[in-house]
Amino acid sequence: MADQPTGVPEQLEPLVARLLAPNPSPFTNTGTQVHLVGTTDLAVIDPGPDDPDHVAAMLRAIDGRPVAAIVVTHTHRDHSPASRALARATGAPIVGCAPLVLDDLGPRADASFDRDYAPDLILADGESIGGQGWTLVAVATPGHTSNHLCFALPEAGALFTGDHVMGWSTSIVSPPDGDMAAYMASLDKLLQRDDRIYYPAHGDPVERPQRLVRGMLGHRKQREGQILRLLGAGASDIPAITEKMYVGLDRRLLPAAERSVLAHLIDLRDRGIVTEAGTIWEMAA
């Protein structure tokens, strides 16, 4: 499935199709995966960037069927902006996460927040919407962003994971809105569920999701251990810590890696394990 063409819908299982948006980047992998749920009436999850060709491709995939809801996991610009054009074209309501108006201090140009996102209905954890033969249940999963929701499709045992869990890469957690402690808790939350398959917004479906989530929790604990070992050897600043932790990383991803290190340091500081003085971090006495 790695060579999926842009703009052509692919039926993944009876209730789920996906369509790739034309926004590949080092942060989005091949681009944003839009998911269409249902057969006679549809939900469109994470409509993606507001690109006229992409909106036209979504309308071709919808093929005149009623759209019950345009569903949004979070308001990064590669996920929600097309919701307006699609709502105008179909009359469907925009449903999902709460709006967030923040200046993004992070390095991801494509991760800045969609300030114009205007939902008709905000779903809280456990609330649901439905159509013919399908239900989507919101699963609050803050961490990547504070407003992030996953959506469960109980009829298929599937979970649409947005940017919370992706098969191709770990999620970027960029403070101040990104929160490592919340992200770890949201990974734990998925471990308590028994979803059969995850459909992330970037990358291929994840067919053994529990194993992946356990691996991601382990990966973050490993990163935390690395930071503690480095600080145990002496006080340091974030660029120096990142350099030692992410050997051989694509230079374009280095600023994002520094944000993740900062997210870990804030978590460790809040737990009383490290302290900061200006740009220098050290073990708490």
Contacting residues toward Zn ion, per CB under 5 A: 76, 163
Backbone angles phi, psi at 11, to 5 degrees: -80, 120
CB of 76 to Zn ion, least distance (A): 3
Question: Which residue, 131 or 203, has its beta carbon nearer to Zn ion?
Answer: 203
Report the length, in residues, of the chain. 285
Rg, C-alpha atoms of the chain: 19
CB of 29 within 8 A of CB of 168? yes
Please, which residues have CB within 8 angstroms of residue 174's CB and are 6 or more apart in sequence? 104, 105, 106, 107, 108, 111, 256, 259, 260, 262, 263
Q: In the bound complex, what is the minimum distance in angstroms from residue 126's beta carbon to Zn ion?
A: 22
Phi, psi of 232 (to 5 degrees): -65, -30
Least distance in Å: CB of 110 to Zn ion? 9
Q: Which is nearer to Zn ion, 90 or 145 (CB)?
A: 145
Nearest of 158, 168, 221 to residue 190 by alpha carbon: 158
- In the complex with Zn ion, the residue whose CB is nearer, 104 or 163, is 163
- When the beta carbons of 58 and 72 are compared against Zn ion, the nearer one is 72
Minimum CB distance to Zn ion, residue 197 (Å): 21
Strand order in the sheet with 121-122: 10-13, 16-20, 33-37, 42-45, 67-72, 94-96, 121-122
Q: Which residue's Cβ has the minimum distance to Zn ion?
A: 76
Residues 6+ away with beta carbon under 8 Å from 239: 258
Burial class (CB in 10 A: 0-12, 13-18, 19+), 232: exposed
At its nearest, how many Å lie between Zn ion and the CB of residue 242? 20
Nearer Cβ to Zn ion, position 149 or 266? 149
Judged by beta carbon, residue 174 or residue 236, the one nearer Zn ion is 174
Nearest distance from C-beta of residue 163 to Zn ion, angstroms: 4
